[in-house]
Amino acid sequence: MNPMRKRICLAAAALLAVTAPSAGVSTPDLLVAHWKFNETSSPFVSDHSGRGNHAMTGYTSEIGGLFNNAFTFDGSRSFVEAPDLDDDLDLTDFTIEGWFRFNSSSGPYGLVTKGGNGEDSFVNDNYGLGVIPDGRLACGFEVENSGAEETVLSAGAVPAGRWVHLACTYDSATGVMKLYQDGAVVGMHVAGNRQPQRQDQSVYIGNNRRINNQTLNGAVDELRLWKAALTDAEILDLHLEGQNKK
C-alpha cells in the first residue's frame, strides 16, 4: 500500500461522523463499509461503518440524492477508490447494496469492483457488481486458486432515469448468489460452496480502473458492503428505507 495513500485515507477519519446502520438489518456488526457521499468539497469520502474504510474521489460532482447528497459519475473518468488497508474489504460471504441512477441503461459499467482484469468478466475479482453492454446487472467473483469465475445475471436491463436500489449477495456455505432490484430477486445462481479469491486491491466505485470505458454514466448514493449474505427480508427493508425518501 502506498504510504501517501494510507495517510490520505486515515486523514479522512477527521471528517467522519459515525452513524448507526439501518435498523432493518439484524446483524449490523457485519457492516464493513458505508459511504454516504455527502461530501461537498473534500477529495475524501468518509466511511460511516466505524471501520475506517475511507475513500478518495476524482472527477465526481455532487447532486441531491435520496438521503442527502449523492455523487455523479461522468461516464469517462470519474472514480471513487477505497484502499484495502487491513484486508478488511476482502470478503468471503458478502452483500453489496446501494442506490444508483443511470443516465443510460446500456453498459458496460463497473459499479463496485474489487480487483478484475477482463471486460464483462470477474476474473481476479474478490467480488464485483456491474452492468454488461445489454443493460443487464451482473455480479460475480473469481474462485479461489482456480481461475474459474462464478457469475449471476439479471433477467432484464436496469432502469434509466430514476433511483433504483441494487444488491448482490453471496453465501459461501450454500453457494447461493442473488441479485436484487428494488427489493425483489431478479437473478440467482448456485455456485457451490466456493470461496472468492482474496487479494489486496482497492475497491472501486462507479469505475473499474483496471478496464477502460467502464465508468458509470449516472449517480450513486448510500452504498454499503457487508461481510455476510443479507436475507431477502433485510434487502427489502433497505430498499424500503430509501423508497420512503422519494
Domain ranges of the chain: 3-11+32-243
Please report, rounded to a whole number, the percentage of residues in the chain having pLDDT higher than 90: 63
All cell numbers assigned to 141: 467473483
| Mean pLDDT confidence for 52-56 | 95
**DSSP 3-state helix, strand, coil percentages of the chain (rounded to 5)?**
10, 40, 45
Q: How confident is the model at residue 148 (pLDDT cuts 50, 70, 90)?
A: confident
Give the model's pLDDT for residue 121. 65
In angstroms, what CA-CA distances link 87 with 1, 195, 198, 232? 11, 16, 9, 27
Give the model's pLDDT for residue 245. 75
Report the residue count for the chain. Answer: 246
The residue type at 55:
A
pLDDT at 117 > cutoff 70: no
pLDDT at 88 > cutoff 70: yes
CATH number of 3-11+32-243: 2.60.120.200
pTM metric for this prediction:
0.89
Residues 6 or more apart whose Cβ sits within 8 Å of residue 214: 107, 108, 109, 110, 119, 130, 207, 208
Least confidently predicted of 10-14, 141-145, 171-175? 10-14
Give the model's pLDDT for residue 20. 45
The residue type at 28:
P
